[in-house]
Chains A and B, each alone.
Chain A
Amino acid sequence: MEIREVVFRRDQRVIYDGLTASIPRGKITAIVGPSGTGKTTLLRLISGQLNPEAGDICVDGLSVPLLTRVELFDLRRRMGMLFQSGALFTELSVFENVAFPLRVHTDLDEELIRFVVMMKLEAVGLRGALDLTPSELSGGMQRRVALARAIVLDPEMIMYDEPFVGQDPIGLGVLLSLVKRLNQALGLTSLVVSHDLQETLSIADHVIMIANTRVAFEGSPQDMQLSEDLLVQQFLYGRPDGPVHFHFPASPIEDAL
């Protein structure tokens, strides 16, 4: 997958100005960067929910911004996405949530649907929660159900939007090992957006760091640790000031007072 020279603006604010990166097939790629740099926006651009102002995004040889609505929906069937909040359908049970993509896109009979859903729920360890509604589950469990739903159609690629936010250490460990296992077992191209740096780097094969509307670093996690770049250093070690400023852009304080 290639991202070339993408420019994107929201209202007047420039989010990306010439972003270029490539995401290798079958590996776990981490997209990291300070808050507010539009990491989630990148996922939405890749899945075609947003269109860039300029530049091109190629997924498997297809240019996403140029696809028609029908082609786009076909492409999305080959993608899975795990949203920050899980985004389970609140009016459906856990089972129906996971079965939903199957019911919409396939003509499988009830028995087969049940079989597939059971397998996926078993994979995330929530087969017992079958008949509960999403509101009866904890945040971490909801995310695992959503993960089962995202992989139920056996996609070639899966995108995780901040999967580790607000998880206790156990939930975090569970999710980390799930992401890793799914990648190895199914050969999924995985894209993890996160600012939980250490955890993400521990499973990633490839890292793209976004800051100040561009790619600040691209390479393996080991290279990132060794990078001399001030921005990368600041981000890795959590220094309050550096190339990314502590202050919101403003005139000097002497003028304001």
Chain B
Amino acid sequence: MIVEWIAGIGSLTLSQLSNVGRASLILIQAIVGRTNAGVHWRLTIDQIYVVGVLSLSIIIVSGLFIGMVLGLQGYTILTDYGSEQALGQMVALSLTRELGPVVTALLFAGRAGSALTAEIGLMKATEQLASLEMIGIDPLRRVVAPRFWAGVISLPILSLIFVSIGCLGGALIGVSWLGVDSGSFWANMQASVEFSDDILNGIIKSVVFAVVVTWIAVYQGYDLVPTSEGISRATTKTVVHASLAVLCLDFFLTAVMFGEI
């Protein structure tokens, strides 16, 4: 009984490790080595359009609403201590340090990550990947690599847009609606937000999330069982694994970046 239980843990660990190993191999084969840079660049631009530009609307709308909610909630809490002026600081710090990178990565996993998995999976199921191989092209290079780079480039940009819109949303509620003085709102924000500490760290976070989320998405797509059931399962896996990875990593990154304060 106990032996079986331990053996179960062992086999689970082994299978997870082999997953990680395969995912690493796929990534390394996809992005290391000789490529036709020109063609590659064009394909990447196409993919930035698909994963980045098409995610803009959801990012802008969510950024605006999260900023406005932060404005409202922050105001209610801060008035209790008579320090509404700190609203700008609160909105900006929570957005640049945490909410911006994390929420953008979660939305990205749901919007673009699942689409990447499904697209690559469909290409596998319809033998397009095998057919590329027969034509003598490595599908990892042609299909996986451009999508990976597009994800890594797009997510930090989306995150910057999210944070900016969020700050404006917070200002909209705080200044225009609740009547916090516009001067102290922005001055407090500027006094407390440090470019190198807060904004750069936020960008580093979102680059890390971008690598992880896109990696999980392309791996799940490339490695899935090529049936309709396999595709739907892999899509779900992408969203679940990517979200969990983002939240766990966020904790560790935060501990490293802001832990000593």
Contacts and interface: CB of A to CB of B under 8 A. Distances in A.
Contacts of B133: 47, 49, 76
Interface string B118-145: 0000000011101101111110000000
A44 B126 CA distance: 15
A90 B131 CA distance: 12
A69 B136 CA distance: 10
Contact of B130 (A87, A88, A104): A87
Contacts of B136: 73-74, 76-77, 101, 104-105
Q: How large is the interface on A (under 10, 10 to 19, 20 to 34, 35 or more residues)?
A: 20 to 34
Contacts of B137: 73, 104
A81 B128 contact: no
Interface of B is mostly: helix
A49 B132 CA distance: 11
A234 interface: no
A80 B136 CA distance: 10
A47 B134 contact: yes
Contacts of B131: 81, 83, 87, 89, 146
Contacts of A47: 133-134
A167 interface: no
Contact of B128 (A76, A77, A80, A89): A89
Interface string A79-110: 11101110111100000000011001100000
B127 A104 contact: no
B223 to A, nearest CB: 15
A87 B135 contact: no
A164 B131 CA distance: 18
Interface residues of B, number: 11
> Which of B128, B134, B135, B136 counts the most A-chain CB atoms under 10 A from its CB?
B134
A84 B128 CA distance: 11
B135 A85 contact: no
Nearest to A103: B39
Contacts of A105: 135-136
B135 A100 contact: yes
Given A49-B133, A76-B133, A87 B128 contact: yes
B128 A90 contact: yes
A80 B127 contact: no
Nearest to A76: B136
Nearest to B135: A101
Contact of A76 (B126, B127, B135): B135
A184 B136 CA distance: 25
| Most chain B C-beta atoms within 10 Å of own C-beta, residue among A79, A80, A83 | A83
A85 B135 CA distance: 16
Nearest to A89: B128
Contacts of A150: 134
Contacts of A100: 135
Interface string A54-82: 00000000000000010001101101110
Contacts of A104: 135-137
Most buried by A among B127, B135, B136, B137: B135
Contacts of B138: 69, 73
Nearest to A105: B136
A69 B130 CA distance: 15
A80 B133 CA distance: 11
Nearest to B126: A85
A24 to B, nearest CB: 22
A76 B131 CA distance: 11
Nearest to B134: A81
A81 B134 CA distance: 7
Interface string B130-173: 11011111100000000000000000000000000000000000
Contacts of B130: 44, 49, 83, 87
Interface in B10-64: none
A80 B134 contact: yes
Contacts of A84: 127
Contacts of B127: 83-85, 87
Contacts of B135: 76-77, 100-101, 104-105, 149
A120 B133 CA distance: 21
A44 B134 CA distance: 10
A176 to B, nearest CB: 22
5 contacts: A85-B126, A87-B131, A89-B131, A101-B136, A105-B136
Please provide the 8 A-B residue pairs with the shortest distance between their CB atoms, ordered closest to farther: A87-B131, A87-B127, A83-B127, A81-B134, A73-B136, A76-B136, A77-B136, A101-B135
Interface of A: 44, 47, 49, 69, 73-74, 76-77, 79-81, 83-85, 87-90, 100-101, 104-105, 146, 149-150
Given A44-B130, A87-B127, 12 more contacts: A49-B133, A73-B136, A76-B133, A77-B135, A80-B134, A83-B127, A85-B127, A87-B131, A104-B137, A105-B135, A105-B136, A149-B135
